[in-house]
Chain A
Amino acid sequence: MEQTKPQVFIRTHFDLCTGCSLCKTACSMHVFGGYNPNKGMLIIRHLWENLAHIPVVCQQCQNPMCMKVCPVKAISRDETTQAVVIDQNKCISCKLCSQYCALGVIHRDPETQKAYKCDLCQGDPQCVQVCPFEALELVHEQKHNGE
């Protein structure tokens, strides 16, 4: 039985999330060098007047539509981390990737207009590290062909 590479992604536990947004600030610091949860790559949906918080993070899809729609092949899978990554140097700001992201987790920077997304922080996601509530978890999922 042939083994494929493990799928690596961040699993969310909404039942543990308190909405504190430390994940989003850690993300904006990693990507842009400053704190602002509005500029993080993940989002939190606050439901029912804060009775529930649903964190939404890029799942590094096995079938990444963002990658398929990119007209300039700026999106690819990183061989080392298995993350789906955007090369901002190639990005032409066409917005197609964010339009076809079902989870709405591709971020467009208002300054540069370039697309940004979760790159798993080169394999050590800061959001997972800073979450005090263990609502985010880095998962390596080994799948076998035919299963």
Chain B
Amino acid sequence: MAQSYMNKILHINLSKGSFHHFEPPAWMRDDYLGGKGWGARMLLDIVPENADPLGPENALIFLTGPLTATPAPAMRACVVTKSPLTNAFLDSYFGGYFGPEIKYAGYDALIFTGRSTAPVFLQIDHNGPILVPARDIWGQDAIKGNQSIKSKLSDENFKIATIGPAGENQVPFALICCETNRQAGRGGAGAVMGSKNLKAIALKGDKLVKIHDQNMFNLALKKANKEIFNSLDCQGLMATGTAGSVEFANETGLIPSKNFSDGTSPLAAKLGDKGQSKKLWLSRSACFGCPIACSQMGAVRTGRYASFVSDIVEYETAAMLGTNLEIGDPRAVAHLNRLCDELGIDTISAGACISFAFEAAEKGLLKSTDDLKLEFGNAGAAADLIEMIAHKKGPLGKLLSQGVKRAAQELGPGAEPLAMHVKGMEMPAWGPRGIPGMGLAYMTADRGACHQRGFPAGYEATGMEWKGKPVKALELEGKAELVFSLQNYLAGTDCLVKCDFGAMGVSPETYALLLSAATGSEIEASFFDELGERIWNTTRIFNLREGMDIKDERLPRRFVEEPLPSGPHKGHRITEDDMKYLIKDYYQIRGWDENGRPTPETLEKTGVRLDKKFKL
């Protein structure tokens, strides 16, 4: 039967330098579909309990979904591993061209285990997989590394994922840079890759991705594209990418300013789409198969940072390395963004680490030197810190390269209120004090503070309707149910693997239609919610097994103790009682006991079949 899976998983044992491929078991397709679902279940079954995330026993898994590499609009791929930043489940998504190439190379997933004795890269083309010595490329930045491999292979057509020096140095928020400039950014998958001595993966495939029912698929494609072009959210992304969110987040009081001490910033206008379009933007670029093309490509042409090509400065980066650090020149922020991309660190965590250092210096917990003035607004110091973090250089570089949670623990109790994180993962750029549902989403996200595992902010900040009723920003009632529903649906569709931006247009019914046509299974729209709930229970079992403490399911102290100083929700905070209410409600709706543990009934009801085991 022609269907959109490649029906082949490749296991690469880096310790032995061996390859082994096998068919994905049918129950994995039935129960977990692909992408996040497969990753969640594989991690649970193949990574031994309490494995060191940076040890050979951890697995690094690249996953596609049944719609990846087809023209279904805005599909991506993901990497799943145990995070060195949170010691918990990590899934990180990336667009671009590397994901689809996994399927064109003939595989649904690539699973790396073990550790190579010397630096290598994996090459797969029509001759099959081989490991190639990479000592000459080790040490190169993530973008240069990509070019070096193309030169070495004398072929521009390879699609490549690389790590930079930060990944090699195992900085726990190091990223994987996926062709082209699409980062598996959060949570340190790049550090896991570095710990395995794997510098890069270079793919060029000639396998075809087939569709079960082409006529039905073409109809579904038409419908999906129409939904995208009719969606106001998607139209906004076509015009200004995520930079359009900068001024929105400022107006709604959600943007981080000075290490989240405030929720508005006078710099927003300069860093948003208007500022960026004037100083940077020149053309549009799209990920594979995407009609949205949210990427506004540009260049810093003149001035002290000239000259380099810059992708759009995404909302998260514009806020975390811009307003959050009180840096208002989009060219300076593009420069910091570029440094992070080259050195291979996550811009969100980097921004939080730098603002932590700046505020710690303000409070007298860290000292500036003549060469390094730790103060808000200092773009030069921010650039120096990024270098120091990526290379773990000097005591300050070493301190910050651990992430804000561990850095604060080392600096002493005075630093703890400045560490903006949940479960070790630094906060993304949507302050939750006026939107408690978003607070709950952060508290409960499976990978730590993450805005992409459920984004109730979109409802709370706009009063958008949920089940026919407008959502009230400050209300606590009903927020747990909202978070639960959003989390489930996103996890379910993260198995396809969809992009969040496409999902702003494409309806659940149309995703179901695309999936049915592609695979030949009969799928209803409600399938994604059910699948997502199963996945949330699966990642929960993993996280609890790995020692996640439910006492950590809370917000950073600043959001609990300090009222928001400005914006429409000025004066608000999320109190201890608020958090207690939200989490209790949430556990109940999830069918978890008071210790946050899925009950046996919940596991049975949601279809987590622990009698099965995924084996390599």
Contacts and interface: CB of A to CB of B under 8 A. Distances in A.
- Label chain A's interface by main secondary structure: mixed
Interface stretch (B115-123, B202-210, B416-424, B431-439): B202-210
Contact of A133 (B211, B287, B289, B293): B293
Contacts of A88: none
Given A22-B289, A38-B104, A49-B180, A32 B208 contact: yes
A60 interface: no
A35 B283 contact: no
Interface residues of B, number: 38
A25 B214 CA distance: 14
A20 B293 contact: yes
Nearest to B4: A35
The secondary-structure label for the interface of chain B is loop
Contacts of A21: 97, 288-289
A132 interface: yes
Interface in B281-310: 282-291, 293, 295, 297-299, 309
Contacts of B69: 35-36
Contacts of B204: 38
B209 A22 contact: no
Given A20-B286, A20-B291, A52-B283, A25 B71 contact: yes
A28 interface: yes
A81 to B, nearest CB: 22
B393 interface: no
A34 B97 CA distance: 17
Contacts of B181: 49-50
Interface residues of A, number: 30
Interface string A4-47: 00000000000100111110011011001111111100000010
B210 A34 contact: yes
B126 interface: yes
B117 to A, nearest CB: 33
Given A36-B208, A50-B180, A110-B206, A25 B309 contact: no
Contact of B289 (A15, A25, A49, A52): A25
A112 B211 CA distance: 22
B242 interface: no
B157 interface: yes
Contacts of B126: 110
Given A52-B283, A132-B225, A18 B293 contact: yes
Nearest to A131: B291
Contacts of A28: 208
Nearest to B225: A132
Interface string A116-147: 00000000000000101100000000000000
Contacts of A49: 143, 180-181, 297, 309
B355 interface: no
Contacts, number: 91
B180 A51 contact: no
B70 interface: yes
Contact of A20 (B288, B298, B311): B288
Q: Which of B100, B204, B210, B283 has the most CB of A within 10 A?
A: B283
A87 B205 CA distance: 26
A20 to B, nearest CB: 4
A35 B214 CA distance: 11
Quick one: which of B97, B181, B299 has the most chain A CB within 10 A? B97
A20 B228 CA distance: 16
Contacts of B210: 33-35
B104 A36 contact: yes
Contacts of A29: 214
Contact of B297 (A39, A50, A130): A50
A22 B71 contact: yes
Contact of B309 (A18, A36, A48): A48
A58 B291 CA distance: 24
Contacts of A46: 180
B209 A51 contact: no
B468 to A, nearest CB: 33
Contacts of A133: 284, 291, 293
Given A20-B291, A21-B289, A25-B71, A38 B157 contact: yes
A132 B206 contact: no
B209 A34 contact: yes
A50 B100 CA distance: 18
A54 B550 CA distance: 52
Q: Which of A20, A22, A26 has the most CB of B within 10 A?
A: A20
Given A34-B208, A35-B208, A50-B297, A19 B285 contact: yes
Nearest to A43: B157
A35 B285 contact: no
A78 B71 CA distance: 30
Given A35-B70, A36-B208, A132-B225, A51 B309 contact: yes
A37 B291 CA distance: 16
A44 to B, nearest CB: 11
B293 A38 contact: no
A140 B282 CA distance: 31
Contacts of A32: 208
Interface in B180-239: 180-181, 204-211, 214, 225
Contacts of A34: 208-211
Given A46-B180, A110-B126, A33 B288 contact: no
A45 B469 CA distance: 49
Interface string B129-161: 000000000000001000000000000010000
Contacts of A18: 284-286, 293, 295
Given A25-B71, A110-B126, A19 B286 contact: yes
Nearest to B101: A38
A51 B299 CA distance: 8
Interface of B: 69-71, 97, 100, 104, 126, 143, 157, 180-181, 204-211, 214, 225, 282-291, 293, 295, 297-299, 309, 311
18 contacts: A15-B283, A20-B288, A25-B289, A26-B71, A28-B208, A34-B208, A34-B210, A34-B211, A35-B69, A35-B210, A37-B104, A39-B206, A39-B208, A49-B180, A49-B181, A50-B297, A110-B206, A132-B291
Closest 6 CB pairs of A and B: A34-B208, A132-B291, A18-B286, A20-B286, A18-B293, A35-B209
Given A33-B208, A50-B181, 17 more contacts: A19-B286, A20-B291, A20-B293, A21-B288, A25-B71, A29-B214, A35-B71, A36-B205, A36-B208, A37-B104, A38-B157, A49-B143, A51-B298, A110-B206, A130-B71, A132-B293, A133-B293
